[in-house]
A and B are shown apart, each in its own frame.
Chain A
Amino acid sequence: MVAGATDLYPLDAVRRASWDVRVGRELPLLDVSRLPELREIRLSPSGLRLGAAVTFSEIAEAGLPDWCRALVQAAREVGGRQIQNRATIGGNLCNASPAADSAPPLLAFEAEVELASVAGRRRLALSRFLLGNRKTALLPGELLVAIDIPHPGPGTRSLFSKLGARRHLVISIVSLAVVLRLEASGRIDRVRLAVGACAPTAVRLKSLEEELSGLDVGTAEARIAPARLVELAPIDDVRASATYRLEATAELLRRALRELAAVARCAGGSDR
């Protein structure tokens, strides 16, 4: 299956790194980049549906409502504009890199994927679709059709942030998304956190979410610490050490929470 094809050749390069040659592709390959259903962006009161072959430029420029901000921010960070014009959200998920930029926001939004095959269609929570490094729940002959994001409720804000050693074209050391709704009192009504590049797949931080809900933002911030990121299992690599990844995640989470709370307060809970 191929759509934007931005990962079709780099895999060759990985294989050639051992001075060996291009290994034959798995043929036949189905080009799904022009299937109308896969190209649609549909916003409704119940949420957002993204066809799997929607490109990151299209997401960034669709004029999506404020609550989608994390997704839009992530779309702007996938490679350069040349890549964003071609790479698709479905490809990014199916390729299942632990550092895929679109995964943390979609996990934090509790997105579902819709899969189709000759046997019919099925839906799966994204968290159950991403199984490991380069591993998904996609069965042979199955196609990722769309990603559905349920509306997170009025007043919800979201944010994506990505840390790398340079500004553009960088594989994340850590990436994360926060989806937050505050009560009128300023306490956390609902928070969802997801982190990329710190485990074989991007993951939700459910235990921390539970711990933080109901707290005021200041107290919540103080609770965030590397030791509480129990779902993460980072490794040392050329980009950073494992310890650093945990620390940086905690720091970025604190900042994200602070920033979102400020935004939510300014907006006074209104939403489109």
Chain B
Amino acid sequence: MSDEPMVLRLRVNGDPVTLAVDPFLRLSELLRERLGLFGTKVGCEAGDCGACTVLLDGAQVCACLVPAFQLGDREVTTIEGLTRDPLGRRLQQAFLACGAVQCGICTPGMIMAAYDLLRRIPHPSREQIETALGGVLCRCTGYLRILDAVLAAASGRIPELPPSGGVGVRIAKRDGLGKVTGQDRFGADAAPEDALWLRVVRSPHARARFELGDLAAFCRRHPGIRAVFTAKDVPGRNRFGIYPDVKDQPVLAEGEVRYRGEAVLLLVGDRDAVEAVRLADLPLTFMPSDAITSPAQALAGELPPVHADRPDNVLVRGTFRTGDAAHLLASAPLRASLELETSFVEHAYIEPEAGWARRLGERIEIGVTTQTPYMDRDEVAAILGLAPEQVRILPTCCGGGFGGKLDLSVQPFLALAAWLSNAPVRMVYDRIESMASTTKRHPAHIRVEAAVDASGRMCALRFSGTFDTGAYASWGPTVAGRVPLHASGPYRLAHIDAEALAVYTNNTPAGAFRGFGVPQTALAVEQLVDELALRLGRDPLAFRLDHALRRGDPTPFGQRLTSCGLVPCLEALAPAWRELRARSEAMNAEARTRGDARRRGVGLAAMWYGCGNTAMSNPSEIRVGLRRDGRFVLFNGVQDIGQGSNTVLVQILASALGVPEDWIESTAADTALTRDAGKTSASRQTYVSGRATELAGRDLRAKILRLANAGPDARIVAEPGRLVVEDRGLRHELWLERLAADADGIVLEGLGRFDPPARAVEDGCGAPYGAYAFGAQLAEVEVDLGLGTVRVLQVHAAHDVGRAINPQQVEGQIHGGIVQGIGLALMEEYVPGRSENLHDYLIPTVGDVPTIVVHLIEDPQPDGPFGAKGVGEPALIPTAPAILNAIHHATGVRPRKVPVLPHRLRAALLAHGEPP
């Protein structure tokens, strides 16, 4: 086999195909780039994720690992081919109906793997399904619904979901069809014809100065390279960052790099030429120096600071103080303390960052996978020196975000390259680049101490957390602001002294990740609460109930809670808690006598979480309209990253208007057409944008009723070309063609804007969030004392979501959150430079998922849409601490570092003295 192009004949989905190809072209690329079959996704190009699963001569394979030279005369089946096949269609339906699809990036691969299985074994056991799907990763769903879907497809008993029903009904995911058929376009799936290829050259050093030589000469020597851009070429501000006052990250480094993977320059040109450039070919010299690798080192101050203008390396210090914690801690009859370290955690969405851009005169368009189109627009505008209106962000489908796509990644590079070279450009991060260059969950080092008074009540807490924010600020200030306010946990506590420090190092920047520091905080605090209960000889659930916040209570910062379902959450868990605790203790006693190394344990954790930005305005605006043909339109500026807003907002609108969902169309987010609905983060979209949608719907309904002169209880009925309003037996007809339509064909519009009321916390008092979500989970684990391994057997989760707009979507969020929590507790540890891929960085597979039982508690949020509040992040927060508490219950050991990898637990067990 050589490098010479070859002529290849094969069959794809039954059709003969003949192509001239590079023999080393991967089948995944061949399908996508040469045949336009973008349903085959690419998540790693290394056989680690299974997103590219197709059938080769009827057997599932990773398309990314099949070279063209092995494809001669072979038969390839892709997701696009399944639509013609009854079994394929059954699987697609079952995935939709069972809620097995969230972001959808893993869906084609999952369906292909399941299809392969059902053709071999038409009625598989659950275990056989697990084995067959073991090679495909999903980061969103927690896998259980996927297993259900395969079982349903096998049995032919596929549940039927209604297409409409309003708030509270499990209607089918509205945007699911394109995901199960592979038709949806994600970041890497579309680009203008003839787009040039863009590559970022990055630093292999965590800290270095660098010099650039003669780039013009370099370009002359490399004819396929159209241009090389450096910091000097940035027309606007070569800085970005989340906060207006902390724009500290250069788009392209200026003579100095601060983390491994930092962007240094851009290469634009033919794909092959751009990819072929070696670091050594470039006139680029690095002069590395000693990097700061931990906050402790940063605070010790022995090395020069990461940023010259921050001599102490402290990005921000967030505090919350109320009462007199110091005094009580010194004088209380019982105290306990705990220290805990957490690691960098990678979002590991299966879709790496990707997109395209093109310049249209004095405007620029960017298609990109993102969680935050409007922030992207404003940042890109500043970088190019343009007004925001000159930048149009067209979000593609987003294959998972979890906070990681809240920061800029490819956007500024695409924008710069397209603007400066006046040509369309395209770029796709590979997995390593995605992992090494984008943000992570902040590693934390936490010390926490609490006291119990003479009556046995927890009375004071001191919390201090140091968070490694990496080389740049990103969302570090958010974490430092949010953590101290959440340090008390969801408990009545009057004396608190909490501090969170975000410290610069030369590590990968840490940013936003599902929970903004609260999961790390809860890991420490919830273990401490358990510890206090145990020392008092109290049952941990009863102890939590004694302290739980209730509706009407003030928070530690004096905000009255208008919705708080924590007590019902704990009560919902109580029966399982008692039963499983007793069972595990009995089993352990027996195991001890038998000399068995396995121990069971059951642990509990509770949580609270303020929905939306901390003490900052975060409005959403939604426009809805009635079109002349009688259809309603939701101009949806909310980016659905798999969480389900495309469905949930339509349900809210349907209920607000009093019409069924199938009369409503929604447009995709587009900064030129839709209003700013803010970012998909902080569990705010259901609550904030949902409320704006409800208001917009009510506004439009009121206008319709006014026009028909009808009372508030009237019914709206659509008929072709007109709208009929029925009111107390009377029919009012609205002839829509008589009304003037705007450019979008809208004859009547409704507007809604909601900005949850928020007041900063000063002197211990404030109202930083509009709504609080509450929840509690229990986890049952099995620990192998001999090996230090932990298996999570079941998780029971009770969450107060205010109102479950679509219970299936809510459960999906909870399942996904729990499985990410398992990863955080037991396996996920990102080490810069060492685990930049999906085989060294482990996320849970289908075989690592426990049984999950969900209890939805609904304590309505007065200003939430139909009472709803958020659940995206809350779902993840209690899982890891519940697991740690369960490990303690099983073994008596509290590991000091997460993830609790087998060797760490084993060492802790040995130090504790129990294991065989």
Q: Which residues of A are interface residues toward B (Cβ below 8 A)? A: 2, 5-6, 8-10, 13, 16-22, 25, 27-31, 33, 57, 76, 79-83, 85-86, 163-171, 173, 238-241, 243-245, 247-248, 251-252, 255
A247/B906 in contact, CB under 8 A: yes
Q: Which of A27, A81, A83, A251 contacts B2 (CB 8 A)?
A: A27
B827/A165 in contact, CB under 8 A: yes
Does B46 interact with chain A (Cβ within 8 Å)? yes
The interface residues of chain B lying within 8 Å CB-to-CB of A239 are 840, 901
CA distance A250 to B278 in the complex (A): 46
Does B788 interact with chain A (Cβ within 8 Å)? yes
Q: Mark B106-147, 1 if CB is under 8 A from A, else 0.
A: 000000010010000000000000011011110000000000
A238/B70 in contact, CB under 8 A: no
Stretch at the interface among B355-363, B501-509, B557-565, B831-839: B831-839
A168/B847 in contact, CB under 8 A: yes
B839/A81 in contact, CB under 8 A: no
The interface residues of chain A lying within 8 Å CB-to-CB of B846 are 167-168
> A19 to nearest B CB, angstroms?
4
A163/B61 in contact, CB under 8 A: no
Q: Which of A19, A20, A238 contacts B840 (CB 8 A)?
A: A238
> B435 to nearest A CB, angstroms?
10
B47/A79 in contact, CB under 8 A: yes
CA distance A29 to B50 in the complex (A): 26
Q: Which of B46, B66, B204, B901 contacts A10 (CB 8 A)?
A: B46
Q: What count of chain B residues pass the 8 Å CB interface test?
A: 73
Q: List 5 A-B contacts (CB under 8 A).
A: A19-B202, A80-B50, A80-B136, A81-B134, A165-B789
Q: Which of B134, B275, B788, B907 contacts A167 (CB 8 A)?
A: B134
Q: Given contacts A18-B204, A81-B132, A83-B135, is CB(A27)–CB(B47) below 8 Å?
A: no
CA distance A83 to B113 in the complex (A): 12
Does B26 interact with chain A (Cβ within 8 Å)? yes
The interface residues of chain A lying within 8 Å CB-to-CB of B56 are 85-86
Other 17 A-B pairs with CB < 8 A, given A79-B47, A85-B56, A165-B842? A2-B67, A10-B65, A17-B836, A29-B2, A31-B1, A82-B113, A86-B56, A86-B65, A165-B901, A166-B848, A167-B846, A168-B134, A238-B840, A244-B902, A247-B906, A248-B787, A248-B902
Q: Given contacts A6-B65, A166-B842, A241-B903, is CB(A19)–CB(B203) below 8 Å?
A: yes
Q: Given contacts A169-B839, A244-B906, is CB(A80)–CB(B134) below 8 Å?
A: yes
B848/A167 in contact, CB under 8 A: yes
CA distance A171 to B835 in the complex (A): 13
Q: Which of B69, B278, B436 contacts A31 (CB 8 A)?
A: B69
The interface residues of chain A lying within 8 Å CB-to-CB of B845 are 166-169
A240/B134 in contact, CB under 8 A: no
> A256 to nearest B CB, angstroms?
12
Q: Given contacts A9-B46, A85-B59, A238-B831, is CB(A169)–CB(B135) below 8 Å?
A: yes
The interface residues of chain B lying within 8 Å CB-to-CB of A238 are 829, 831, 834-835, 840
Minimum-distance CB pairs A-B, first 4:
A80-B135, A167-B847, A168-B134, A244-B903
Does B384 interact with chain A (Cβ within 8 Å)? no
Does B880 interact with chain A (Cβ within 8 Å)? no
CA distance A76 to B202 in the complex (A): 39
CA distance A80 to B53 in the complex (A): 11
The interface residues of chain B lying within 8 Å CB-to-CB of A164 are 842
> B375 to nearest A CB, angstroms?
27
The interface residues of chain A lying within 8 Å CB-to-CB of B843 are 166
CA distance A250 to B436 in the complex (A): 36
Q: Which of B60, B113, B786, B842 contacts A251 (CB 8 A)?
A: B786
CA distance A251 to B789 in the complex (A): 12
CA distance A86 to B50 in the complex (A): 13
Does B277 interact with chain A (Cβ within 8 Å)? yes
The interface residues of chain B lying within 8 Å CB-to-CB of A31 are 1, 69-70
CA distance A30 to B67 in the complex (A): 13
CA distance A203 to B616 in the complex (A): 61
B906/A21 in contact, CB under 8 A: no
B1, B69, B116, B275: most-surrounded residue (chain A CB, <10 A): B1
B65/A30 in contact, CB under 8 A: no
Residues of chain B in range 787-832 having any CB-CB distance to chain A below 8 Å:
787-789, 826-827, 829, 831
Does B287 interact with chain A (Cβ within 8 Å)? no
CA distance A30 to B23 in the complex (A): 12
The interface residues of chain B lying within 8 Å CB-to-CB of A10 are 46-47, 65
The interface residues of chain B lying within 8 Å CB-to-CB of A243 are 903, 907
The interface residues of chain B lying within 8 Å CB-to-CB of A13 are 45-46, 430-432, 837
Closest to A3 in B: B70
Residues of chain B in range 450-466 having any CB-CB distance to chain A below 8 Å:
none
Closest to A247 in B: B906
CA distance A251 to B786 in the complex (A): 7
> B176 to nearest A CB, angstroms?
24
The interface residues of chain B lying within 8 Å CB-to-CB of A240 are 901-903
A2, A25, A82: most-surrounded residue (chain B CB, <10 A): A82
Does B591 interact with chain A (Cβ within 8 Å)? no
CA distance A33 to B71 in the complex (A): 12
Does B775 interact with chain A (Cβ within 8 Å)? no
The interface residues of chain A lying within 8 Å CB-to-CB of B433 are 19
The interface residues of chain A lying within 8 Å CB-to-CB of B69 are 31
> A195 to nearest B CB, angstroms?
15
Does B761 interact with chain A (Cβ within 8 Å)? no
CA distance A57 to B787 in the complex (A): 29
> A234 to nearest B CB, angstroms?
11
Closest to A8 in B: B67
The interface residues of chain B lying within 8 Å CB-to-CB of A165 are 789, 826-827, 842, 899, 901-902
CA distance A29 to B69 in the complex (A): 11
Does B884 interact with chain A (Cβ within 8 Å)? no
Residues of chain B in range 1-18 having any CB-CB distance to chain A below 8 Å:
1-3
Residues of chain B in range 862-916 having any CB-CB distance to chain A below 8 Å:
899, 901-903, 906-907
The interface residues of chain B lying within 8 Å CB-to-CB of A57 are 59
A31, A86, A255: most-surrounded residue (chain B CB, <10 A): A86
B135/A82 in contact, CB under 8 A: yes
Residues of chain B in range 842-857 having any CB-CB distance to chain A below 8 Å:
842-848
Closest to B275 in A: A21
Does B64 interact with chain A (Cβ within 8 Å)? yes
The interface residues of chain A lying within 8 Å CB-to-CB of B542 are none
Q: Which of B46, B136, B829, B902 contacts A163 (CB 8 A)?
A: B902
B135/A79 in contact, CB under 8 A: yes
Does B303 interact with chain A (Cβ within 8 Å)? no
The interface residues of chain B lying within 8 Å CB-to-CB of A170 are 842
A5/B275 in contact, CB under 8 A: no
The interface residues of chain A lying within 8 Å CB-to-CB of B261 are 19
Q: Mark B67-81, 1 if CB is under 8 A from A, else 0.
A: 101100000000000
> B648 to nearest A CB, angstroms?
32
B60/A166 in contact, CB under 8 A: no
Q: Given contacts A163-B902, A166-B848, A169-B48, is CB(A244)–CB(B788) below 8 Å?
A: yes
CA distance A238 to B132 in the complex (A): 28
Does B276 interact with chain A (Cβ within 8 Å)? yes
Q: Which of B24, B62, B280 contacts A82 (CB 8 A)?
A: B62
